[in-house]
């Protein structure tokens, strides 16, 4: 039996086992997927145990700390500066970042245009990675932040300039007198605004939703945020973070075992796990 796990701090609410178990079952894999809570000290002390696994995922707070413990880093890990997936081949551990694969695959499945005008709300954590990924796809990017996060947005803009020197990036301040574009092909919320328990909050006003052709919200609890409700009421394609969570897991299975999944199979897993929320 192959063995995999998710390492992180507090993992009590993780849906990773349910996602990976379904993906393993679809390909008839004899494998187990567990949860392993580790402190920062335990990550180093128990790393020899992780080396015996066939692969593992990483979440907060170990996505950076695990990097120097690995034998190799894939270009995705180097690009985004974090590792969330490790594969063992020939006794060597290679770190990958599959988070943005999950985002890009989710947006493509919606039929949204990534190479057009993209409005990104927030750029910390996952937002930073989405900004880099969108710019790499040729997006003309507008990043909306609160005033105190302007330095963070400027730093992300500088990172984008290194990886995608021709990318167009504008920074606007929420609530200020900002000049937005007349139309956005995609609006992405990468902030916690609208997350349980503050489910009635929305990160942008109705006007910005109205000029956006599609909406993606990284939040998956609730499954239908106020932002997604408003977008769907206007007839816009809208997707939540569960799609990203499942699709990044799909990439992990490709790295671990070479397994591929159809869009229909992926959608089935998204729907199945969504019922657990």
Kindly write down the DSSP assignment for every residue of 111-131, as one continuous string.
T--SSSEEEEE--STHHHHHH
Whether 153 contacts 178, CB under 8 Å: no
CA dist 154 and 145 (Å) reads: 10
Whether 86 contacts 56, CB under 8 Å: yes
| Known active-site residue 2 | no
In whole angstroms, how far apart are CA 71 and each of 79, 86, 89, 217? 17, 10, 11, 34
The closest alpha carbon to 76, from 91, 96, 99, belongs to 96
Structure tokens at 17: 């086992």
Sequence-ordered list of residues with C-beta below 8 angstroms from that of 259, at least 6 positions apart, any chain: 23, 27, 29, 253
In whole angstroms, how far apart are CA 83 and each of 95, 168, 260? 6, 27, 21
Q: Which of 63, 113, 157, 230 is catalytic?
A: 63
Whether 95 contacts 66, CB under 8 Å: yes
In whole angstroms, how far apart are CA 228 and each of 159, 196, 235? 30, 14, 10
Active site residues: 63
């Amino acid at each position: 039996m192959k063995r995999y796990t998710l390492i992180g701090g507090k993992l009590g609410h993780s849906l990773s086992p349910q996602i990976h178990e379904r993906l393993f079952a679809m390909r008839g894999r004899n494998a187990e997927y567990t949860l392993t809570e580790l402190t920062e000290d335990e990550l180093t002390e128990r790393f020899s145990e992780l080396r015996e696994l066939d692969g593992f995922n990483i979440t907060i707070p170990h996505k950076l700390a695990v990097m120097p413990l690995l034998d190799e880093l894939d270009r995705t890990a180097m690009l985004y500066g974090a590792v969330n997936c490790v594969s063992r081949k020939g006794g060597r551990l290679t770190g990958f970042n599959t988070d943005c694969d999950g985002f890009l695959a989710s947006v493509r499945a919606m039929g949204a245009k990534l190479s057009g005008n993209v409005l990104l709300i927030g750029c910390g954590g996952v937002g930073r990675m989405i900004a880099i990924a969108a710019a790499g796809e040729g997006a003309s990017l507008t990043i909306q932040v609160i005033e105190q996060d302007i330095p963070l947005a400027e730093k992300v803009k500088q990172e984008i300039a290194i990886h995608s020197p021709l990318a167009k990036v504008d920074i606007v301040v929420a609530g200020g007198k900002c000049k937005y574009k007349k139309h956005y092909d995609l609006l992405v919320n990468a902030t916690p605004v609208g997350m349980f328990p503050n489910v009635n909050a929305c990160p942008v006003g109705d006007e910005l939703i109205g000029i956006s052709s599609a909406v993606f919200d990284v939040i998956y609890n609730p499954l239908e945020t106020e932002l997604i409700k408003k977008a769907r009421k206007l007839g816009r394609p809208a997707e939540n973070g569960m799609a990203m969570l499942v699709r990044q897991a799909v990439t992990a299975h490709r790295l671990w075992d070479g397994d591929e999944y159809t869009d229909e199979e992926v959608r089935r897993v998204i729907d199945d796990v969504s019922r657990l929320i």
